[in-house]
Amino acid sequence: MDKISSPAEFQVAIQSPRLTVAIFKADWCSDCKFIDPFIPEVEQAYADRLTLVEVDVDAVGDVSQEQNIMGIPSFVAYSDGRELVRFVNKLRKSREEIENFLDKAVQVHQSLLQ
């Protein structure tokens, strides 16, 4: 998974016509660490349908503010520079919840292509 380290990199990532899901997280976040072990498997399972990118909220804080990210980890799906759907709450996220969100993001993206 690519790690976004600047606002410019973030803009390039979300401008793609391909479905791109940004995971907003930080090194100090225990709920972020909770998802780390299974995210590579999730990324591989969805590789044909979307691109995952990691956004460190400490490294690119301006992006987090612009995107109105209040809690982490947060998942936001983009295509062609537009936000499609987001999964944001203060609760720890399970693999099943993340996969359900990614399925929803894929459905929304596909509906726009029709």
Per-residue pLDDT tens over the stretch 83-105: 999 998 777 899 999 999 999 99
CA–CA distance, 95 with 62 (Å, rounded to integer) = 28
- Does residue 30 sit in helix, strand or coil? helix
Q: Is the pLDDT of residue 114 over 80?
A: no
Q: Which of 91, 24, 29, 30 lies closest to 57, judged by CA?
A: 24
- For 9: left if phi > 0, alpha if psi spans -120 to 50, otherwise beta; the answer is alpha
Exposed, middle or buried by CB within 10 Å (0-12, 13-18, 19+), for 63? buried
State which residues form the domain around 35: 2-113
- pLDDT digit string, tens, across residues 3-27: 998 999 999 999 999 999 999 999 9
Q: Output the pLDDT for position 91.
A: 79
Identify the three-state secondary structure at position 71.
Answer: coil
**29-52 pLDDT tens trace:** 999 999 999 999 999 999 999 999
The pLDDT of residue 82? 95
Q: Say what the pTM is.
A: 0.94
Residue 91 contacts residue 104 (beta carbons within 8 Å): no
pLDDT tens figures, 74-85? 999 999 999 999
CATH number, residue 100: 3.40.30.10
* Domains in the chain, number: 1
